[in-house]
Chains A and B, each alone.
Chain A
């Protein structure tokens, strides 16, 4: 079976399972770039065809706007309601669609065939119900947020879609009060629903985003239980550098990345302050060099030059983001933390390794979801910038996770995931 066939078969299966109405809820695990949005769009179209009403819950305004744009572009005939908070300024990509009604009051959009809003906005709606619901990015949704909206579709059928490998939801409150309870509100929406209902789980089998050079290692490192394969064959995606290289610290790294899809730009071993200026400088300079070399991407859709908006620099901390911004990166390049890069896609990503220059590995810096987000945003190549010495740091880390009774253990363990990625990067190491 080709990846296309495989993917089509799975989508058909999910659609028939869901629209059969035999399940109160279904979970769809979607690895990075596996066509989650496409699934949501085709499910919506299918339901609208059957004259059904659907509500969609996403987590951020950006996600909602992306979804509305995709849905309206794919099915211009659908009557879509975009419910938002008062004072929200909708972007052009949403307002340009005539079929989209935008409003901050539910009365003005509830008759649309599909109504889309953030979980935070849905939480203020009551006294209504929908027979069909899709909860998007459900692994990033906290369980208490689901509790606030679930009554709206409790008598209908819900489809929970999301990426189990990314970052878990977060709270400023550290409490053991609910630890071990099935409905611990600090867990993700999927975790709670699964522990209380044991819903059927589907998995999307193909990553359309990750190239053949990345899918196997990302799958092995972060999705050890249920792997996925790349949608393109080796060589199908290609980077070209029309401008000749220069001597200096950057081009060998860029050339390794364009040739193999990966590069580890390794700076000398040193413990540093979290905002290591050398790493910040390297991230900014590498991004600039990629543009200076006039990089062109060839893929299954054709060829296009790599513009700044197709490059992202990902960090673990906000102050690292600020440090990169201060290091004179090319304008238009996205620079953000892993949390905010979730769900986004670029041609080339530069990653400030979370463990670079550290003396100790903490749970935060080891978290597998963080590294997973950072190393799975790219369609062509991923360049990791780090100080040498991470392998030792991992070896020195007491990897005995904090155990709690009745809390299912999580795979993969951050330590093991970090090792897998590091072992892979080792083959693409460039020391400038």
Chain B
């Protein structure tokens, strides 16, 4: 959280409805997202109970397990789920183009987008992926061929979803919280129904009143994956003890349908927000990752093992950090409201250009030639916390590198160091400019050793990963 978000939380309560935290939508939104609401059986790590899934509001498919304790039925459920999800992904994975960059690479024309209600849904997808990707399709515990494939794709999507800015698998409550601030506290804000009650309250109602109604489990059943213990006790248990498939199906539908409606309402709300400039670029990286994964699977590559090696872990961490830094910065560059959040924290400032010394030339330290280093002075009423020497960028001229020379009361002096190409413009007196320490390009990161050359400090080279029989046959309680 930041001071701006706390400000907006109080403002939401004051105004009786959620406040915008963004002026543009920072996530790409697919024309055909797949909404997936899984439910799990209480007390089990990853035993599916039911799911509602589909690519359109009117196209809900309800999958259920009559007896969730039965291992066979779980795999039947997974096979049914795979029949829906795998073709949806493969449809996108199959269509590729070749980039027109210096070193050409493949990327898909478009990519799948799976939306789950909340972070619990993401975690459950990881577990479904983990519990199915190693399964054998022949032998004593054989499963349908689509099941391990489902596991591999869900694992891929989940791993990708941890990279900031990736949009192939998203949790709706995260997405909404990125774009609106409600009057709910952090722990309460993972309730989809409550969040939407604040963002879009019924006429004549405040967000708070609407949320109070929305948190009643009888009116808005939990959005999963955990079910309401009351429902388990009074409805589900009797229907499993004395099986009645038709009534069970209806009961599950009753638990899932309200969330289904909420998910599509949320999609509509998000669609009404205009796209952020850099969202397409991030989606392109998703499309590239999809093409790469598709080739890997097609060429017989193994599913990822249970653990990252030391090298894989470090490499992944570097990637996650780079993505995070670049996403934070891109959001601020695309959206003045996000930039305002950074201004409030002292990571950016806005002001009006007073003077520009465009012809200034100096000899930089360690160099011999005279080079152009224009000086810009800016008057600002933002508190500037940067120290001289700080490198700053401006969303208006992202390619122009500058360095802070001095801060004297409310006058900031910057020196422009780079990006003064022929068609580039310098800031001009009177112009309102914003400078920040954020950098959408992300930093350069050094190479790590090959996994076969893992040094002794990190345990030496790990044994090569080969899926074992244990992986494939892991009895599913």
Q: What residues of chain A have their CB less than 8 Å away from a CB belonging to chain B?
A: 24-25, 87, 89, 120, 123-124, 126, 143-144, 146-148, 150-151, 154, 158, 171-173, 175, 177-178, 181-186, 189, 192-193, 196-197, 318-319, 322
Taking the closest CB of chain A, its distance from the CB of B392, in whole angstroms, is 16
User: Which of B309, B345, B383, B457 touches A197 (beta carbons < 8 Å)?
Assistant: B457
- B66 lies within 8 A of chain A by Cβ: no
Which of A89, A124, A186, A319 is close to B346, meaning CB atoms less than 8 Å apart?
Answer: A319
Q: Which residues of A contact B385 (CB under 8 A)?
A: 318-319, 322
Asked if residues A193 and B325 are in contact (CB atoms below 8 Å), the reply is: no
- Closest CB of chain A to B89's CB: distance in Å? 23
Whether B307 contacts A185 by the Cβ 8 Å rule is no
Which listed residue, B307, B318, B454, B456, touches A144 by the CB 8 Å rule? B318
Residue of B nearest to A196 (CB): B459
Give chain B interface residues in 433-470, CB to chain A under 8 Å: 446-449, 453-459
Q: Across the interface, which residues of A come within 8 angstroms of B457, CB to CB?
A: 25, 146-147, 150, 154, 158, 189, 192-193, 196-197
* A172 with B321: CB separation less than 8 A: yes
B311 touches A147 (CB 8 A): yes
Q: Could you tell me if A173 and B317 are in contact, using CB atoms closer than 8 angstroms?
A: yes
A197 with B320: CB separation less than 8 A: no
Q: How far is the CB of B288 from chain A (nearest CB, A)?
A: 22
With an 8 A cutoff between CB atoms, is B212 at the interface?
no
The answer to the question of B310 belonging to the interface, with a C-beta cut-off of 8 Å to chain A, is yes
Q: How many residues of B contact A (CB 8 A)?
A: 32
| Cross-interface CB contact of B453 among A124, A151, A177, cutoff 8 Å | A151
User: Could you jot down 6 A-B contacts, CB within 8 Å?
Assistant: A126-B447, A151-B453, A172-B324, A177-B308, A182-B459, A183-B310
A26 nearest CB across to chain B (Å): 12
Kindly list chain B residues whose C-beta atoms are within 8 Å of the C-beta of A172.
Answer: 321, 324-325
A185's contact among B317, B325, B446, B447, by CB below 8 Å, is which? B317
Is the CB of B274 closer than 8 A to any CB of chain A? Answer: no
* Interchain nearest-CB distance for B157 vs A (Å): 15
Q: Given the known A-B contacts A172-B325, A197-B457, A318-B385, are A148 and B313 also in contact in the complex, defined by CB atoms under 8 Å?
A: no
Whether a CB of chain A sits under 8 angstroms from the CB of B162 is yes
**How far, in Å, is B65 (CB) from chain A's closest CB?**
28
Whether a CB of chain A sits under 8 angstroms from the CB of B314 is yes
Contact of B366 with A175 in the complex, beta carbons under 8 Å: no
Q: How far is the CA of A398 from the CA of B154 in the complex (A)?
A: 38
Are A147 and B314 closer than 8 Å at their CB atoms? yes
Contact of B308 with A143 in the complex, beta carbons under 8 Å: no
Kindly name the residue among B314, B325, B383 whose own CB sees the greatest number of chain A CB atoms within 10 A.
B314
CB contact between A150 and one of B309, B318, B446, B455 (< 8 Å): that residue: B455
Given A178-B308, A181-B307, A322-B346, does the pair A150, B317 have CB atoms closer than 8 Å?
no
Bound form: Cα–Cα A21–B324 in Å: 42
Q: How far apart are B373's CB and chain A's nearest CB, in angstroms?
A: 14
Nearest CB on A from B40, distance (A): 19
B203-229 contacts to A (CB < 8 Å): none
List residues of chain A with CB within 8 A of the CB of B383: 322
| B317/A186 in contact, CB under 8 A | yes
Cα(A182)–Cα(B462), bound, Å: 12
Cross-chain contact A173 with B455 (CB below 8 angstroms): no
Additional pairs, 14, CB under 8 Å, beyond known A123-B446, A178-B308: A89-B366, A146-B457, A171-B317, A175-B317, A177-B308, A183-B459, A185-B317, A189-B457, A192-B310, A196-B457, A196-B458, A196-B459, A197-B456, A197-B457
Q: Please name all residues of chain B whose beta carbon is closer than 8 Å to the beta carbon of A154 when the two chains form the complex.
A: 455-457
Kindly report which residue of chain A lies nearest to residue B328, judged by CB atoms: A172
Neighbour of B313 across the interface among A87, A158, A185, CB < 8 A: A185
Given contacts A147-B311, A181-B307, A184-B313, contact A173 B456 (CB under 8 A): no
The digit string for B316-337, where 1 denotes a CB below 8 A from any CB of A, is 1110110011000000000000
Rounded to whole angstroms, the CA-CA distance of A331 and B324 in the bound complex is 37
- Bound-state CA distance A107–B310 (Å) is 30
Which residue, B311, B313, B321, B459, has most C-beta atoms of chain A within 10 A?
B313
Q: Which residues from B are CB-within-8-Å of A175? A: 162, 317, 320
B365 at the interface (CB under 8 A from A): yes
The complex places the Cα of A175 from the Cα of B456 at a distance, in Å, of 25
Q: Which residues of B contact A24 (CB under 8 A)?
A: 456
Residues of B within 8 A of A89 (CB): 365-366
Chain B residues within 8 Å of A120, by CB: 446
A322 and B346 alpha carbons, distance in the complex (Å): 10
Task: Tell me the smallest distance from the CB of A363 to a CB of chain B, in Å.
Answer: 15
Query: Once the chains bind, are A144 and B449 in contact (CB under 8 Å)?
Result: no
B contact residues around A189 at 8 Å (CB): 457
B324–A173 touching, CB < 8 Å:
yes
Interface contact A185-B321, CB-CB below 8 Å: no
Give chain B nearest CB distance to A272 CB in angstroms: 14
A183 to B448, CA, bound (A): 14
Given A123-B446, A196-B457, A197-B457, residue A144 in contact with residue B314 (CB < 8 A): yes
In order of increasing CB-CB distance, the 6 nearest A-B pairs are A123-B446, A144-B314, A183-B310, A150-B455, A196-B459, A154-B455
